[in-house]
Amino acid sequence: MLNVFPDLLTYSMFAPFILRVVLGFVYLDIGILNFKKSGNQKLLGIIEIIGAVMLFVGLYTQIAALIFVIITGISFYIEYKDEDVLKRDIVFYLLVLAISISLLFTGAGIYAKDLPL
């Protein structure tokens, strides 16, 4: 079947860029909240903040996305098993997991330090 808007395919590299920036904002917020907590959450917060900055810059995007796939997958499992442990909805974790997997497969997109080979 033909594409309805074939001219928009010219801008297909903007899709990973948009996903990368949105996921960066999400994990920057989560990272700051975890960093303010005491205990093991502080280390997780540092990892999330560093990963968010990597996504903003577009540096090692697939590595950051892989780390976020692991973190989100674990959070998704915890939320699925016990809804009282984490404060977010399971749909939130599913959406963030989908964005992370998409960035893992597609790469950084436009305006990134990562260069596709």
**Domain edges within the chain:** 14-106
At 8-18, the pLDDT tens digits run 888 888 999 99
Whether the model pTM is above 0.75: yes
Alpha carbons 77 and 68: distance in angstroms, whole number: 14
Burial label, 91 (beta-carbon count in 10 A; 0-12, 13-18, 19+): exposed
Instruction: Look at residue 65 and tell me whether its pLDDT is greater than 80.
Output: yes
pLDDT band at 115 (very low <50, low <70, confident <90, very high): low
If you average pLDDT over every residue of the chain, what do you get? 89
Alpha carbons 18 and 24: distance in angstroms, whole number: 10
Q: What phi and psi values does residue 2 have, to the nearest 5 degrees?
A: -75, 150
Alpha carbons 113 and 52: distance in angstroms, whole number: 14
